């Protein structure tokens, strides 16, 4: 293995900056320092174990020993099964009609539906921004005038009754 240089022909070498970061020089000098006999835990919600670089080690062993999905997959209850397709549509969990493309082949004829509330997956800053926008543009436009009117009516009533 020590006699085998790392191949840096286009386009493969440019996919990861191994040359620029010194990895090529390092691995040519120490080819056995490729991670073998090392176990690393990665806590990340976006790791794709099917990625080419995560499949096998340089000695042909499987790289990913065990995987725990922390991405939120499975957070949506899809136990509701729908078998009735009417005019190419099914009725989803919320009652909304969902169009099933004709190109989809579903040999079981069973469609699983579920509901995911978007706020549950938004980063906190995005959630705050959306909530503020909705408050300002959907709630306040009706609430503020109604509150002002109710406050005026209360004031008028109190003045009339002689508090």
Instruction: Give buried/exposed letters for 19-43 (b at 16+ CB in 10 A, else e).
Output: eeeeebeebeeeeeeeeeeeeeeee
Q: pLDDT band for position 24 (50/70/90)?
A: confident
- pLDDT at residue 43 greater than cutoff 90: no
pLDDT at 103: 92
Residues 94, 120, 124: CA angle, nearest 5 degrees:
145
What is the residue extent of each domain of the chain? 83-116, 119-161
Residues whose CB is less than 8 angstroms from the CB of residue 31 and which lie 6 or more positions away in sequence, other chains included: 1, 2, 4, 58
Average model confidence (pLDDT) across the chain: 84
pTM of structure:
0.40
pLDDT tens-digit readout, 80-136: 899 989 999 999 999 999 999 999 999 999 999 998 888 888 888 999 999 999 999
pLDDT at 143: 96
- Give me 163's structure tokens: 């508090």
């Amino acid at each position: 293995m020590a006699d085998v240089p790392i191949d840096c022909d286009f386009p493969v070498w440019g996919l990861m900056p191994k040359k620029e970061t010194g990895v090529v020089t390092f691995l040519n000098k120490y080819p056995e320092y490729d991670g073998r006999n090392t176990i690393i835990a990665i806590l990340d919600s976006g790791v794709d174990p099917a990625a080419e670089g995560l499949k096998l080690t340089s000695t042909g062993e499987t790289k990913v020993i065990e995987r725990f999905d922390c991405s939120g997959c499975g957070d949506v209850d899809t136990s509701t099964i729908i078998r009735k397709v009417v005019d190419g549509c099914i009725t989803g969990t919320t009652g909304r009609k969902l169009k099933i493309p004709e190109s989809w082949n579903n040999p079981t004829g069973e469609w699983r539906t579920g509901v995911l509330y978007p706020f549950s997956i938004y980063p906190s800053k995005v959630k705050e921004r959306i909530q503020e926008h909705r408050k300002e543009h959907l709630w306040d436009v009706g609430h503020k005038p109604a509150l002002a009117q109710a406050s005026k009516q209360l004031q008028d009533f109190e003045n009339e009754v002689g508090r």
